[in-house]
Amino acid sequence: MRFLLYNIRYGAGIGRRFHLPVPYSGYLKRTNGNLDRIVDFIRAVGPDIIGLIEVDSGSFRSDNNNQAAAIAREMQCSYVYQSKYSVDSLVQKVPVLNKQGNAILTNQEIKSQRFHYFRKGMKRLVIELELEACTVFLVHLSLRFRHRCYQLENLESLVNDAKKPVIVAGDFNVLWGDRELRSFLAATGLKSVNGQGKPSHPSRAPRRQLDYIFCTSELRATGFEVPQVTLSDHIPLICDFEIEAGRSGKCTAEGAPQVLTL
């Protein structure tokens, strides 16, 4: 089972064009083919599960198309998308920003899906996707340290309540380094598949490890790669998993999507 994690920055790209005429103005430009290059990269990787951070669900940047849906069509797989801002957030009233979210794509059967929202921070979404063999949590944590602390406490509860082997992945924004994660990892028993702590940001000259893939002991990472891809400001992470024999956990019933606030 191959897992790909990628913060695609809404397909906006990097470089001089992104920062002209003013810094970060690329967030307000059309993707102009960069998403096609991202799709080509994903297709070459051949993942079974794809965790996408910073996905545009239909603003003018993406020609009013949901980027997750477009990638899923190309990959011939299922997808789950959700806005990173809760329905009662004031951001939902702001054009472009209200089209920003995260997504999970997979060629596996989806048993159930749930959307959770942290109580603290601007970026509050947790996507929980139950598959046959495991449960996947996808996150994009706050830029503020205090909010990240609260969010990690909430995420700890979700992970510990899961009935199957767990993969937790996302952009954790741990600007103070791995020490921010010590309590969370100790409480959940999760282990990073990136044993060497390879950095993932910024993509042209990586210095910081912001993107992580964690898993519980029932899952064994048999391969890990951080390819030097510069289609976004983050580098993607690729991990191959095997499930330890006889340790698949308990099955849960299939259910409709639920939106919860933590």
CA–CA dist 45, 40 (Å, integer): 9
Helix (H) or strand (E) holding 217: none
Please list the pLDDT of the chain residue by residue as tens digits (262 residues): 999 999 999 999 998 888 888 888 888 888 878 999 999 999 999 999 999 999 999 999 999 999 999 999 999 999 999 999 988 888 899 999 999 999 999 999 999 999 999 999 888 999 999 999 999 999 999 999 999 999 999 999 999 999 999 999 999 999 999 999 999 999 999 999 999 999 999 999 999 999 999 999 999 999 999 999 999 999 999 999 998 755 554 333 334 455 554 5
Cα atoms in the Cβ-side hemisphere of radius 13 Å centred on 18: 15
CB 168 within 8 A of CB 137: yes
pTM attached to this predicted model: 0.92
CA–CA dist 140, 124 (Å, integer): 7
